[in-house]
Amino acid sequence: MLTSIGLTALLTLLAAASPLRVRTPYAVRESHLQGNFNELERHLYQVSNPSHEQYGQHLSTHEVNALVKPMDEALDLVHSWVEDNGIKTSNCEYSPAKDWIKLSPPINAIENLLSTEYSVFQYSEGGNTNPAIATACNAALVTPLCLRALYGTVKYTVQSTNTNKIALNDFLGESNNRSDTKIFLQKYRPDAVSGVDTFKVEIIAGRKDEQTQDTAAELAAGKDTEGNLDSETLISMAYPIPLIPYRTGGHQPFTPDFLPHVISTSYADDEQTVPLSYALSVCSSFAQLGARGVSLFSGSGDFGVGPPGDCLANDEYHASTFLARFPTSCPYITSVGATKFIPEIVATDGKNKFASGGGVGKQILGLYNPSGRAYPDLAAQGYHYSTIWNGTLLPLDGTSASTPTAAAIFSLVNDDLIAKGKPPMGFLNPWLYSVGYKGFMDVVHGSAVGCGTHGFPAKKGRDAVTGFGTPWFPSIGELAANASAIVLKR
């Protein structure tokens, strides 16, 4: 499941490492070859492609698990490997499909098993770091009313709150402060204030629902700016669709009681820092969610094609390279870039070195891999978002703003589909690239600057900085409904 995966934050400000005690119990998960992922992928594209007769007929949990369950021989090999290193497998915990195994042996046993040494690291410092539209929007500060007018959702009435839900992911200690979110909604969308009291936090792997006042150190580090931006944007855009924040503190598997139809993730790593085996396991988990009818959104990054001075491969050659982002480079996610102003252009902000991310995943040689997965797929406003943090107004930039905006718009699309007796969108990209792009407003100015270059420019049609452009909800809703209608007539 998506929510069982905590993205590893590989930050540079690390200090004060200390070894773990030899006998410390420590949880480790082993992911091994999934039994029939090629067949799962085939089903994923069938149920996500409007031209296929299976469009919208998403798989059940049981059907997905049956496809990804590893072969008995693979399980036997893993068990033998673990037993040969002195670890008993009698206490193994398994995911429903048995494609993940969790063990909690002493730390010295894990060090021997993996031929490594575990340490505890602490951060020495940290931080996070038309007429109607013209009337509603101000370039200096983007508000929910501006976004709803700009993208055509302001007149839509939500209908399917009993079956439609939207979720966000909280990582790296972030929370969604109810007090700040309430102040935000009172100011910008008073009719949605009740959404503050009704969002249900799902706690994963030891995290807490932290609603207390941040300490001086936490305030200095900007704690919860990310979390507040996500919850305030999603509720103000999608209310009264129920919101579920998944608050993750570790890496243990998690199986929710109800899968939301849309999940927004505003966190990412440099793709080259993520081990390939881990990235493939995570990406295949995203495919499983897509096959079950979940739409996943991820920000394309905030450094263009890479921060100046850091654009080097992390191998022995250290060649110059654009820095792709993960998980947005996974092909089973819908990647979201950022825009600013009206008419919209690529979002940048020289004051904080923000530049909307764009690129191509699975880098091999040169600045980028021309045969890799290009992203983003679409874009939305991501500049000077009004955010309430610590009780005060704080304008924020980033694809962390554009991502929940896009997610909220498609949650409204799902709401309309469900009310009409049709299935939710699920994995968006096959629909987007075959039909859905017609519902987007092209962005043709600006570029994903970075690495001392102009990066990838915006241009007519699809590009690697704004994708197909920004969404116009009335057109997207009509295209989505028509795609489902074609299948229902077959």
Q: What is the DSSP string of 438-483?
A: GGEE---S-EEEETTEEEEEP-SS-BTTTBT-EE-HHHHHHHHHHH
402, exposed or middle or buried, with CB in 10 Å at 0-12, 13-18, 19+? buried
User: Nearest CA to 99 among 149, 123, 64?
Assistant: 64
CA distance 427 to 234: 19
- Give which of 67, 81, 91, 78 is closest to 31, Cα–Cα: 78
Residue 54: strand, helix, or coil: coil
Q: What is the phi/psi pair of residue 404, to 5°?
A: -65, -25
User: Of residues 226, 377, 415, 416, which has the active-site annotation?
Assistant: 226
Structural domain boundaries in the chain: 21-117, 130-489
Q: Which structure tokens are listed for 468? A: 């197909």
Tokens of 2: 């998506």
CATH of 130-489, one of 3.10.310.10, 3.40.50.200, 3.30.70.2080, 2.50.20.10: 3.40.50.200
**Antiparallel, parallel or unpaired: β 269-270 and 388-389:** unpaired
Distance CA 286, CA 303 (A): 24
* pTM score: 0.82
Structure tokens at 128: 């996070």
Pick the catalytic residue: 400, 402, 447, 484? 400
Look at residues 127, 102, 91, 103 and name the one whose alpha carbon lies nearest to residue 11. Answer: 127
CA angle 407, 402, 464 (to 5 degrees): 100
**For 140, which DSSP code?**
T
What residue type is assigned to position 416 of the chain? D
Q: Which two tokens stand for residue 478?
A: 């009509």
Beta-carbon count within 10 A of 462 CB: 18
Task: Please give the chain's pLDDT, 490 residues, in tens.
Answer: 222 323 222 222 222 233 444 444 445 555 545 678 899 999 999 999 999 999 999 999 999 999 999 988 888 998 998 899 888 888 788 888 988 888 888 888 888 888 888 776 554 443 333 788 988 998 889 999 999 999 999 999 999 999 999 999 999 889 999 999 999 999 999 999 999 999 999 988 766 677 777 888 989 999 999 999 999 999 999 999 999 999 987 544 566 668 999 999 999 999 999 988 888 889 999 999 999 999 999 999 999 999 988 999 998 889 999 999 999 999 999 999 999 999 999 999 999 999 999 988 864 344 556 678 899 999 999 999 999 999 999 999 999 999 999 999 999 999 999 999 999 999 999 999 999 999 999 999 999 999 999 999 999 999 999 999 999 999 999 999 998 755 444 4
Burial 164-176 (b: 16+ CB within 10 A, else e): bbbbbbbbbbbbb
* 377 is an active site residue: no
CB 340 within 8 A of CB 323: no
Contact 289, 1 (CB under 8 A): yes
pLDDT score, position 253: 53
Which has the closest alpha carbon to 300: 344, 360, 365?
A: 360
Residues with Cβ < 8 Å from 480, sequence gap 6 or more? 413, 416, 417, 425, 431, 436
DSSP structural state of residue 211: -
Binding-site residues for Ca(2+) sit at 442-443, 461, 463
Q: What radius of gyration, in Å, describes the C-alpha atoms of the chain?
A: 22
CA distances from 460 to 308, 356, 357, 434, 466 (A): 27, 18, 18, 17, 10
DSSP string for residues in 239-308: TTS-EEEEEESS------SS--SEEEE---EEGGGS-HHHHHHHHHHHHHHHHTT-EEEEE--SBTT--T
From the candidates 174, 230, 302, 397, give the one annotated as an active-site residue: 230
The Cα–Cα gap between 34 and 40 comes to: 10
Q: Is residue 95 flagged as an active site residue?
A: no
Q: Is residue 400 among the annotated active site residues? A: yes
Residue 398: its pLDDT value, please? 97
Instruction: Report which residue type is found at 300.
Output: S
Q: Where are the beta strands (DSSP E) in 157-204?
A: 166-170, 202-204
| Residue 176 host element (H or E) | none
- Are the C-beta atoms of residues 360 and 464 closer than 8 Å to each other? yes
Binding site residue list: 442-443, 461, 463
pLDDT score, position 120: 64
